[in-house]
């Protein structure tokens, strides 16, 4: 990104030319990829021209003024459709920008469009989108991951230099791993959720995706900070991109949890992650075997909480306040018909499950128990960080799977096996490419840290990227 910024600063290229290039890539690749739901060609070119005018007058809004970005389509954009990949919101055009979108506009980044996702961010493959599946740029017969599959695929394919996604149980990191790009789930509360269409508010977090660790860190620096409009916003300082000093690796204590390297992990994924661990060890890091035994309960706990919160969050979509209305003789029938017509099968499934666990007869047995286990998981993670500086695991058990391969919902939910723990405990987690398998598919390493330790994660990720990583573009 610094190269693009330098070209803009020295006026060797204009923002309009950059935007036109990426719009050309979108036009060329979208029939095969389907990473975008909405492309705002007119708006992006207008914003680019404004950026060029500012630079001509030597008053750029930031070093990145004029470099375009794409936004996941569950993040509110004023005057630009925000569909959440659902028929229910097909024509919803917000009257306000999410806080992160306002930050990006304040920095001068033209918005090229809105990227595809699993409907209301409920899924791990982008197969649950009402607008069709997003294909993996490395192999179009395979999924791009989810729910931020469109954001990851667009970056990997070179349709956009960077993008925003959201992560509730792995929805940034898993598609980043599948597509061979870098993705960060920040510390809960360091990035405002104002304007993010809620799935599970106690777990959701907006984060950046890019082709390199440095670019991901730059984008994160534009997003981080406290926001009075978000009640869960932490009183955190803004973030500055760290110096890339490899001396921080020497003496670094890296926790390697045995539970993440057992049954269900593909051998090629394990080999790639262990190769990265060896490279860190050779640089002077200390590998510390640890146990995170509560991860056995992470998926069950996550699914209980996410369905309960989703049931509550989606209650507003009734055909009156939001969404398309189906006419009926009475309000209850209208609600039922509107939801039946507007929601896809996965959304309906999660609403039903969430309503069940929140019901009076099951609340204590399921929801309250899940909250107790969540506390144990958080304590387990915090205890581990008393002994180590970072924890490294595979991001996903396998490389990207084929479209249609996972017919069972439970099988799909297990895609978040290694990522849900970070959301349940609120810690930051970074996925970095660490190689490819025998089929040429990208593989990812997950680096987790203490709350607000993103700078350290970026430094470790930068070293991994230099030694064993790949640049996940398919251009």
Q: What are the catalytic residues?
A: 72, 147, 171
**Contact residues for 267 (Cβ-Cβ < 8 A; gap 6+):** none
For residue 141, give both structure tokens: 């017969």
User: How big is the chain, counted in residues?
Assistant: 475
- Which element (helix H / strand E) includes 426? none
Return the bridge partners of 435, or none. Answer: 443
The 8 Å CB, 24+ separation contacts for 436-441 are: 436/180, 436/272, 436/470, 437/266, 437/268, 437/269, 437/272, 437/399, 438/268, 439/139, 439/399, 440/138, 440/139, 441/136, 441/138, 441/139, 441/142, 441/178, 441/399, 441/400
Looking only at the bridges linking them, the beta strands covering 111-115 and 139-143 are unpaired
Q: Which residue reads 């791993």 in tokens?
A: 177
Q: Are 224 and 442 in contact (CB under 8 A)?
A: no
Backbone angles phi, psi at 298, to 5 degrees: -65, -45
| C-alpha distance from residue 274 to each of 244, 394, 446 (Å) | 23, 9, 12
The Cα 246–Cα 360 span in angstroms is 54
Return the bridge partners of 209, or none. Answer: 163, 183
Q: Are 447 and 457 in contact (CB under 8 A)?
A: yes
């Amino acid at each position: 990104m610094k190269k693009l910024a330098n070209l803009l600063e020295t006026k060797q290229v204009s923002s309009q030319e950059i935007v036109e290039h990426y719009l050309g890539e979108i036009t060329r690749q979208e029939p095969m990829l389907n990473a975008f739901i909405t492309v705002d060609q007119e708006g992006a070119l207008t914003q680019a021209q404004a950026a060029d005018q500012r630079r001509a007058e030597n008053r750029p809004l930031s070093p990145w003024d004029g470099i375009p970005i794409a936004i996941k389509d569950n993040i509110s954009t004023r005057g630009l459709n925000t569909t959440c990949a659902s028929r229910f919101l097909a024509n919803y055009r917000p009257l306000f920008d999410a806080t992160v979108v306002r930050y990006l506009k304040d920095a001068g980044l033209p918005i090229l469009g809105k990227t595809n996702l699993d409907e209301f961010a409920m899924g791990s493959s982008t197969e649950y989108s009402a607008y069709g599946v997003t294909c993996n740029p490395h192999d179009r017969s395979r999924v791009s991951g989810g729910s931020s599959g469109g954001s990851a695929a667009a970056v990997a394919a070179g349709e956009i230099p960077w993008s925003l996604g959201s992560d509730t149980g792995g929805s940034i990191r898993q598609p980043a791993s599948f597509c061979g790009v870098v993705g960060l789930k920040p510390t809960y509360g360091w990035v405002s959720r104002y304007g993010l269409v809620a799935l599970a508010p106690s777990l959701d977090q907006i984060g950046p995706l890019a082709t390199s660790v440095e670019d991901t860190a730059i984008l994160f620096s534009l997003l981080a900070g406290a926001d009075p409009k978000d009640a869960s916003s932490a009183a955190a300082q803004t973030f500055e991109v760290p110096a890339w000093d490899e001396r921080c690796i020497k003496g670094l204590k890296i926790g390697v949890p045995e539970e993440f390297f057992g049954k269900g992990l593909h051998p090629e994924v394990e080999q790639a992650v262990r190769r990265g661990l060896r490279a860190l060890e050779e640089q002077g890091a200390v590998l510390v075997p640890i146990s995170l035994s509560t991860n056995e309960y992470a998926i069950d706990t996550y699914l209980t909480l996410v369905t309960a919160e989703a049931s509550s969050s989606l209650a507003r979509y009734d055909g009156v306040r939001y969404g398309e209305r189906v006419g009926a003789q009475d309000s209850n029938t209208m609600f039922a018909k509107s939801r039946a017509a507007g929601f896809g099968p996965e959304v309906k499934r999660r609403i039903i499950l969430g309503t069940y666990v929140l019901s009076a007869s099951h609340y204590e047995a399921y929801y309250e128990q899940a909250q107790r286990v969540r506390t144990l998981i958080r304590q387990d993670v915090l205890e581990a960080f008393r002994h180590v500086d970072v924890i490294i695991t595979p991001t996903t058990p396998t490389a990207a799977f084929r479209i249609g391969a996972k017919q069972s919902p439970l099988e799909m939910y297990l895609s978040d096996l290694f990522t849900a723990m970070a959301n349940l405990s609120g810690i930051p987690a970074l996925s970095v490419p660490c190689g490819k398998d025998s089929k040429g598919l990208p593989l990812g390493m997950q680096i987790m840290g203490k709350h607000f330790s993103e700078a350290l994660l970026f430094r470790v990720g930068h070293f991994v990227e230099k030694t064993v990583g790949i640049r996940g573009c398919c251009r």
